[in-house]
Chain A
Amino acid sequence: MRNTVNTTPENIKKAFMVPGLPHLALDFPGGNGAWKDLKEACRKAGEDARAADPDVIVIYSSQWISVLGHSFQADPNPKGVHVDENWYDMGDFEFNFKVDIDLAAKAERHAREKGLATKMVNYEGFPIDTGTLVVLKHFNPENKIPVMIVSSNIYCGKEDSYTLGQAVGEALKESGKKAVVINCSSLSHRFFTEDIDPAQDKLASETDDQWNRQMLELIKAGRNQEAFEKGEEYAKSAGPEMMFKGFYWLMGVLNTPQTPGSVLAYGPVWGTGNAVIEYSLN
């Protein structure tokens, strides 16, 4: 059973939900309007995160898809250049950041002990996903803060996502490190499949928009447990990225707090629904 009282580990200072689309990190002609607001909200969220002076930033990326269980990045210093497979003409992501491999090992152990399939991933040239790099651009622009990254397992359901989050929460508690935790996911994930004028961007469907707003209202009211329970219906109706697994994971880390999430921005990117949400916890 999930707790309904706020027992989020004290060393988790803030938590966020942010989209991982390159439109919000790289330059794109005409990307004003909603993109600008979302981008600005990401920047502000990053600033707030750094103000908490975290020892580590923990990222769950819906764009890092794994199949053989849950993967944890274990390369102490991933570096290279990433080009998005869709939006390759928007520019490149150069990266060079530090990974907290001790924390990753702890989280992997907790997850394994809970019966989840896990993998530590440490390979030169491993493709770091766009979502993770968008987060780093806003939250860790100078790459001073070590990060921990966990994948989104395609075969994993709601309960396992929550369990994975719990494992990460326990690892953070055990480490005593001051942390900021980020679920990098879009809300409704229905893209327009043709070229658009970014200035005219909107949600791909009204139903998606209504569902996104409904979920955001629950989150804003601190009714995270209700948002959690409505997840499957939401996933079926509005197709959030990776079926809302990132939110379940986040609730697992935070122990489903009653803390209201502050919605810094909400808007479309190429038809998808995106929100920047900040939880101020401890």
Chain B
Amino acid sequence: MAGNGRILAGFLAPHPPHLVYGENPPQNKPRSQGGWEPLRWAYEKVREKIKILQPDVIIVHSPHWQTIVGHHFLGVPKLSGLSVDPIFPHLFQYKFGLDVDVELADACIEEAKAEGLIAKKMTNPKFRVDYGTITSLHMMNPDWDIPVLGISANNSPYYFSHDFAQDQMIKLGRATQRAIEKTGRRAVLAASNTLSHLHFDREPEIPEDMSKEHVMTHEQYLWDMKVIDLMRRGELDELMEILPEFMEKAFAEVRAGSLVWMLAAMGFPKIPAELHGYGTVIGTGNAVMEWDLVKRDLDEIRSQEGIVCATP
């Protein structure tokens, strides 16, 4: 198996804990009347796809595991406990238990170091996994029957220039790709990013009261649509060009680097990403999107062989 690994797909997989809360899974203590259905239903498509792809591992880069010195990888085979969101504790009190692909973590660390990055392995078994990692993974695979690998968000975007920070994420993406290939993993990637990230600082009495849910500003909405449209068109060069402005104008969470990491790992595929759904959560803009690299490769083979696909 080693040496034949590949990335099957990448997903933009935002992590508002409201999505878990709205679903009422047994792992989460607070109960809701629902809410944020368009986003939750978008994730249902992701779940179906993951069942079809049957990856060996789901790798998630989370802005809510923030590290100062380098890029960190979960490095304990089994992590479990109660994760309570410090911001929305009334919505998210989740009992988690996850299997970590430590061999892949080791390979990622080695490759990241080869890229000149600082990379570290988190080996403390009492570590509390952040709610961003858990929410994205739960929404993608609530059965938790696929090993995972969590990667921290190094805070370089907040310390250095945009170019320096994104360069780090590109190197991290390349390193992740090589590690997947070398370990023979069939991997799915998850960029745990919200798009526009300005949000309300007060919530309705019933948090899931959708009559109160809307995007924070019109400008924010326009930015989200612009960015989504570029991804839908596969225009990643243009996307990379406008990202700094997007981050500044819409306080976009992609600044944490998850999206650029994932795109870099996938080799910046210039294929249309599929939008499964868009919705706001407490005013922030969230899109669930998919880059299907298996389909891309099949399409390429078909095109080389001159096969015309009769798909309606």
Contacts and interface: CB of A to CB of B under 8 A. Distances in A.
A123 B68 contact: no
A81 interface: yes
Interface residues of B, number: 33
B187 to A, nearest CB: 24
Contacts of A127: 84, 86, 128
A65 B86 contact: yes
A270 B67 CA distance: 13
**What range describes how many residues of A lie at the interface?**
20 to 34
A195 B120 CA distance: 11
Contacts of B67: 85-86
Nearest to B85: A127
Interface stretch (B195-203, B255-263, B292-300, B303-311): B195-203
Determine the main DSSP class of A at the interface with B.
loop
B89 A191 contact: no
Given A67-B199, A123-B84, A123-B93, A85 B124 contact: no
Interface string A74-95: 0000000111011011001000
B86 A64 contact: yes
A194 B124 contact: no
Contacts of B32: none
Interface of B: 65-70, 81-84, 86-90, 93, 118, 122-124, 126-128, 130, 152, 154-156, 159, 199, 201-203
A125 B93 CA distance: 8
Nearest to A92: B126
Contact of B127 (A65, A83, A121): A83
A66 interface: yes
A88 B69 CA distance: 12
A94 to B, nearest CB: 10
Nearest to A204: B159
Contact of B201 (A69, A123, A124, A192): A69
List the 7 closest pairs (A to B, CB-CB), nearest first.
A125-B82, A88-B124, A123-B89, A125-B84, A191-B68, A155-B201, A67-B87
29 contacts: A64-B86, A65-B87, A66-B87, A67-B87, A67-B201, A68-B87, A68-B202, A81-B126, A83-B126, A85-B67, A86-B66, A86-B68, A89-B124, A92-B124, A123-B93, A124-B93, A125-B82, A125-B83, A125-B93, A127-B84, A127-B86, A127-B128, A129-B86, A193-B68, A193-B69, A193-B154, A193-B159, A194-B118, A195-B118
